[in-house]
Amino acid sequence: MLFDWKLNAAYDSSMKKIYFLLMSSILSFGCATTNPPPTVPKVDLERFMGDWYVVGGILTFLEKGAHHAIESYRLDEEGRIQTTFTFRKDSFDGPLKKYTPVGFVHDKETNAEWRMQFIWPFKAPFLIIYLDDEYKATAIATDSKRYLWIMSRTPQMPEHLYNEIIALVTEQGFDVEKIVKVPQPEEG
């Protein structure tokens, strides 16, 4: 029985390494686009930290079937963004998936362009392309426009904010046909 547990632990560890390798590869290919989406003018990092519910986006194949997806950010003492991404696979009671990449502020003037490291030494560009004045809704994209995450501070994003983000990314040339909604629990 102990041997089985060690095998499962080793398997889980191997799967996480494979995930990070795949995410790094996915996010780094095609990043040399000549027309990345513009970022917001300024991000107050302290206000941006905390939990964000992923309500939709152009997701990676590894996020397919995500339910109750939450991206949590915490600024550490060295200025890195400690990130925890969790979701349930295929249903609200499906297996819990958890990933912990580290973010680095790339554009220190605006704080709106990060590099996300899923596995050393690879860092993928993450651009904050939408942020409402109250820090209740945001959109983050890769510079290639291949991936997009629409997020809210609450499980349900107000429809007018969601529509505002969809209009923005449509104007910026994202393939909005690929946007999917991520199921989130009803607020109660």
CA–CA distances in Å: residue 95 to residues 52, 66, 89, 105: 20, 10, 5, 32
Number of domains in the chain: 1
Distance CA 168, CA 91 (A): 30
Q: Residue 89 domain-assigned?
A: yes
CB-based contact 112:41 (threshold 8 Å): yes
Instruction: Give residue 45's domain range.
Output: 2-181
Tokens read off for 117: 């490291």
Give a yes or no: residue 188 inside a domain. Answer: no
Contacts of 93 (CB under 8 A, 6+ apart): none
Asked if residue 160 is part of any domain, the answer here is: yes
Q: Which H or E run contains 70?
A: strand 66-75
CATH number at residue 169: 2.40.128.20
Q: What is the pLDDT of residue 30?
A: 43
Contacts of residue 174, Cβ cutoff 8 Å, sequence gap at least 6:
37, 58, 141, 145, 148
Residue 8 placed within a domain: yes
| pTM more than 0.75 | yes
The reply to whether 186 falls in a domain is no
Q: Is 187 within a domain?
A: no
pLDDT score for 3:
43
Q: What is the pLDDT along the chain (188 residues), one digit of tens a residue?
A: 444 444 455 555 555 544 544 454 444 444 444 699 999 999 999 999 999 999 999 999 889 999 999 999 999 999 999 999 999 999 999 999 999 999 999 999 999 999 999 888 889 999 999 999 999 999 999 999 999 999 999 999 999 999 999 999 999 999 999 999 999 998 75
pLDDT at 188: 58
